[in-house]
Structure 1
Amino acid sequence: MQHIDLSYQWQPQSREAARNRQSPLRNPLMDLLQAVRHAGSIAGAAKFLNLSYRHVWGELKRWEQAMGQPLILWEKGQAARLSGFADKLLWAERQAQARLAPQISALQAELEKTFAVAFDPDHQVLPIFASHDDALVGLRETAAAQSLHLDLRFCGSVDAIRALNEGRCHVAGFHAPWQPGAQSLVARTYKPLLKPGLHKLMGFATREQGLMVAPGNPRRLQGVRDLFQSGVRFVNRSVGTGTRLLLDQSLEEAGLAAANLTGYDHEENSHAAVAACIASGQADAGLGIASAAHVQGLDFVALSQEHYWLVCLASALETAPVQQLRRLLHSAAWQAHLQSMPGYTPSAWTGQVQSLRSMLPWWTFKTQRAGDRVNPQFTSP
């Protein structure tokens, strides 16, 4: 069984090329074999393909070695002829092209339509790595209608900020409780990754975090301590996610041991996956957002409100994609949409740019004495 790889390439477009267009799915070996059959010689095939004789001969030999079967019958004094195996290859290729022509043409049209965006100066693309969030999915759809295409990759909050710092995206999304203490687990985790002056925050939304539970809340769960009741099965989020961080901070503050929580090691990679796990009866509770519980018909026990932030490098604030994102976030239409989602409310800072120090007061600056040069240095409180 031979493995098939698909690829595509760009060709200059002209009216003549459009009229003479061949199948959008082609293979170099099939082109070589067809040319040999048409020309009756290696030299003729090379001329037909506008290639050198040496290149065509070498490629045919390479393919024969790779496939372990002859492709050309090399008889002295005779015109080059395809082997029986080569004839079967061309037959199979024609059969596949005939069967798949509609799908191939549709795929080609979709590729051309998508790549047209890259050549259109009116369209912008913004790579974003972000903690999983239902409102961001809605934002992606809304932005696309306004020619702003969010290349959105969901991952944990910690991984999202690391991706920003490593240059793999332009904007990162993470969430945190409102002004958590400087010694909290949240602060200790995020603080090394964020640098005042280098990073800027953009308000996105305020959302509720809480327990997703079965309809009617049969276990009568009201808080983190209730998760330690006998028989309660918990489903957790992955390490590095903001929700996992929130749980671990809650356990630390309450003096509860994660090892005693049944299901602490049962991990899912999104709010939706946690909700689906509870809805299917595999677990009794999980920490997540209200919108995910709503989709699965679960009950939701609100525990806290948190801010979902978008963060970018200060140097990126004035770029066209980030400027367009800020205008969209600040628009009345987007904020009305956000208000309609379960568990979400627009933040007072939605679409506005804020400093790390004002929103996450984990840094204190040395007091400048009279006559000192302006040289801000931040230290841990």
Structure 2
Amino acid sequence: MDNKPLTPQEVADILKISKSTVYDLMKRRELNSYRVGKKLRVDMADVEKYKNKTKDPTSPSGSSETIKIPSSAAYEDHYFINNTFIISGQDVILDILCRYLNRHTAGIRALRSYEGSYNAVYALYQGEVQAATAHMWDGKTGAYNVPYIERMLPGTPAVIIRLASRMQGFYVARDNPKNIRGWNDLIRPDITLVNREKGSGTRILLDEHLRKMGISGKSIKGYAKEHQSHIAVASSVARGEADCGIGNEKACLQVQGIDFIPIQKEQYDMILKKEDMNQPAVDAIFSILRSDDFKLELQGMGGYDLTELGKIIAET
């Protein structure tokens, strides 16, 4: 028999199953695998062995439910034997949550994917992460997140959990020398904006307000200049590279030389697939979010309204 090494995709093609199922079989040790550098490989002999084993009605069926391994090829290098749970989002709340998860008795290995709201939810839909976070404002309804989740997860029941409420606003130079007060000021010829990247909740907020006002982003000086975080935007304003940026109040507290003009209170939520709600990692997340220790640590940082922390605010 030709015992050539196979990629997970080649195994999936042979067995007529999805690549994510191949990863799941590897994780449960039902299909032997090994690494060549950072890549996973399977010998053809082990594929035949697996096929023959499953023909035996007395063969054990496998194991208890496990969290699915991401199916995207980009995540092949992040395959772990232990329970792995990937959370996508950019707020420091998630760094703290992952620290608590990694110490939890459930034995979860928590990883981070640093994506903006839109890309995080899309990765959840694609099965590349197990949890996404978002703060996407819908200008038609005035609601956060739920309208987007309903559109972006078609046919996928989801649960939306409140993490925090935060104040969004303008970052301006100390004492606001350009007297920037509202959205209309952004179209003034003497104002230079520094923007967030496409897909971030802050960029969606700006674009939705511009749409409602009938204003093209191209008419705003600096609209095309993008940064990947609130801190980077605030720092750009502090250095005088722009007159105004948009972000949350917490980041403003971390950068010297700027003021914050509050504009709108936003909701920052976590999105999970309903099919995963009984997973050990999800149980651990709810336990942590609703614990006094976690809430007190966030309160000590400031900048968050934690009144509804851990509350299920919608199901789609």
Task: Return the TM-score normalized by structure 1.
Answer: 0.56
Question: Counterpart of 1:346?
Answer: 306
- In 2, distance between residues paired with 1:313 and 1:171? 8
Other-structure match for 2:297: 337
Letter in 2 for 1:172: A
1:322 pairs with 2:282: yes
Q: Which residue of 2 aligns with 1:141?
A: 99
Distance 1:330 1:196, change over 3 A: farther
Instruction: Point out the more displaced range, 181-190 or 282-291.
Output: 181-190
Q: Does 1:234 align with 2:193?
A: yes
Q: Distance in 1 between matches of 2:186 and 2:145?
A: 21
1:272 equivalent to 2:231? Answer yes
AA of the residue aligned to 1:234: L
- Residue aligning to 2:270: 310
Q: Structure 1 or 2: larger helix share?
A: 1
- Is the aligned partner of 1:287 residue 2:246? yes
1:300 deviates by 1.1
Alpha-carbon distance between aligned partners in 2 of 1:187 and 1:199, rounded to the nearest angstrom: 10
Instruction: Please give the alpha-carbon distance, in whole angstroms, between the structure 1 residues aligned to 2:191 and 2:253.
Output: 21
Given that 1:180 and 1:187 are in contact with CA atoms closer than 8 Å, whether structure 2 keeps it comes out as no
Aligned-partner Cα distance in 2 for 1:190–1:319: 21
**Which of these two proteins has the greater Rg computed from alpha carbons?**
1
Q: Give the distance between the partners of 2:124 and 2:139, measured in 1 at CA.
A: 22
Q: Which string of whole-angstrom CA distances, capped at 9 and with x for unpartnered residues, describes residues 301-342 of structure 1?
A: 111111111111101111111110111111122222323334
Match of 1:176 among 119, 136, 139: 136
> Displacement of 1:155 after TM fit?
1.0
Aligned mate of 2:160, from 198, 201, 205: 201
Give the fraction of aligned pairs with identical amino acids, expressed as a percent.
27
Unaligned runs of 5+ in 2: 1-79
Q: 1:247 aligns with which of 196, 206, 215?
A: 206
Shift of the 219–144 alpha-carbon distance from structure 1 to 2, 3 Å rule, reads: farther
Let me know the Cα RMSD of the aligned residues.
2.7
Classify the secondary structure of the residue corresponding to 1:172: strand
- Kindly indicate whether residue 127 of structure 2 is the aligned counterpart of residue 152 of structure 1: no
Number of residue-to-residue matches in the alignment: 235
How big is the shift at 1:185?
11
SS of the aligned residue for 1:203 comes to: strand
Matches within 5 A, 1:110-125: 125=84
Query: How many angstroms does 1:196 deviate by?
Result: 7.3
Say if 1:236 and 1:265, in contact at 8 Å, map to a contact too: yes
Q: CA deviation at 1:161?
A: 0.9
SS of equivalent to 1:306:
strand
In structure 2, the partner of 1:126 is: 85
